[in-house]
Chain A
């Protein structure tokens, strides 16, 4: 699962739990069931505006069962572990640390440096940053390109693709290396008030 999918799943799950819980309390608290003539099934929670949010009875319903406390502690521990694992995952470098070429192993950082050096040599490019991400089997090359003012975007992109990107694919022996480009254009460097009056 990609990082984006995982994050979006976390957000959707948390959001749904909050929204459904809040909606149940609102429906019961505002007595919307009787006002809207709805008849929830008997097991439906929180139906009367005069019942407590979580009564002592329901909070301690299973407290005397032997499985209850181990289950609570296990669920909480799993939640804590999962959250800690997610946070630890943010500290790691995203993507492989080294890449295997046919004859040797190369540190990803070294490869990124080479691609950046080759890219900054292009006349249109003023600043570049690359990141190799993904798994060793499906690599992705993220590139942020800043162009000089007055550089035309399409030729600049073509120069990057046919130069550094194509070379990286050849070097890695991966013609399918996925490329993700973020392009920053610079406005013209002329002062905004110098206008040519062509009368």
Chain B
């Protein structure tokens, strides 16, 4: 075991463990304070890749054909046909309206993706400096595991959302007692923002 691990924190440390000064020469600048656990933001690589590919295909096709026409070749069928279609179809044409509606929907979706944080799988953790987040499925698994451990709980469904967790239990257990236990379990996860946990009894068991 290395010296660093020898002084691991005790079993129940404070919510924000003290950050050690990094090293003698540079320890005069303390690490950044906790960033308040703001939500992590997705890099949006996948959907941007699709958009960039679509733009690339359309622009490269047009460029190829425009250069071909400039150098004395015939315009390709598809471009002549497209130019013809947009020149004869009126704005009230059904296909034009369908296309425009689709463009509005897709465009609004892209704008939404551009501004929404994304990464809904992750709950921000409030520990020390930098950013940290925990996966919601893992939190749900931990809560579910603890619930199944409790006496007189025969089944438990756990839903973890951004700000609250709902646990539905089956069995004859007292929901208030289960709720106390599970809140204690959830408190082990140092979440950055307030998070509610409520326990309900399955309707058929009432």
Contacts and interface: CB of A to CB of B under 8 A. Distances in A.
Interface of A: 3-4, 7-12, 14-23, 25-26, 28-31, 46, 48-56, 59, 69, 72-73, 76-77, 79-80, 83-84, 86-87, 90, 118, 121-122, 149, 152-155, 157-159, 161-163, 166-167, 169-170, 173, 175-176, 178-188, 190, 192, 195-199
A17 B104 CA distance: 9
Prevailing SS type, chain A contact patch: helix
Contacts of B55: 14, 79, 83
B4 A187 contact: no
Contacts, number: 295
B176 interface: no
Contacts of B197: none
Contacts of B90: 29, 49-53
19 contacts: A10-B51, A11-B114, A14-B51, A14-B110, A15-B107, A18-B103, A26-B100, A49-B90, A53-B96, A87-B53, A157-B125, A161-B128, A182-B134, A183-B134, A186-B138, A187-B142, A188-B146, A190-B148, A197-B152
Contacts of B142: 185-188
Contact of B92 (A50, A59, A195): A50
- By CB atoms of chain B within 10 A, which of A72, A80, A90, A167 has the most? A80
A113 to B, nearest CB: 16
